[in-house]
Amino acid sequence: METSMTSDLLRAYKEAMELDQVDPCSYSPLVLAYIGDSVYEVMIRMRVINGGNTQVNKLHRRASRLVCAGAQSAMMGFLEGELTPEELSVFKRGRNSHSASSAKNASITDYRRATGFEALVGWLFLTEQFGRLVELVSLGLRGLGELSGNKTGAGECLEEGGSEAGGGKCLEESGAGKAMEEGSRPGEENIIQENDPCDTKN
């Protein structure tokens, strides 16, 4: 029901804004990450304001520790084993893309993995897989200790760090860092990933 309502809202928006029908696979991984960044931030901001009224600068700080590259990279440490082959391919395409912008207060590895995460979020949003999008974000936040369920202590670390550098510290303490390093291999930049949903040859 909620997925249907979200689809209806998106459809109404596209009509009102006179948007053309565009195949999400026609977008580059960085464009997917561009929209995914905004979608994920709205999801986090919705959760942050759910705690009630407070000063906006405090809301910003709470949201920032979960939308930074370190936190997103840590989430991928918990999510990679849960992804379908198609989702994993989208993530890797985003991770292996070379951006003109540089990482700020984050390692290159964290920055690239965060880009892959945002590309996946953007792809799920544009393909209107809203239920799956919410499921994966929820799993990632549980991994960080932000939602009820299995907690790793990473959430507390992010709270203390309050920055992307804090996210890197959390990776080491939660064990996600090992998965992160294993998931990043040199020489993959120009390889078309197997099971890529945007590969017309598949």
For the chain, residues with pLDDT lower than 70 are: 1-3, 102-103, 149-194, 200-202
User: Can you give the pLDDT at residue 149?
Assistant: 59
User: Can you give the pLDDT at residue 198?
Assistant: 81
- pTM, entire model: 0.75
**Nearest CA among 53, 16, 47 for reference residue 155:** 47
User: Can you give the pLDDT at residue 162?
Assistant: 42
Compute φ and ψ for 175, nearest 5 degrees.
90, -5
Domains of the chain by start residue, with CATH: 25-180 (1.10.1520.10)
- Catalytic sites, residue numbers: 37
Give the Cα separation of 89 and 202 in Å (integer).
Answer: 12
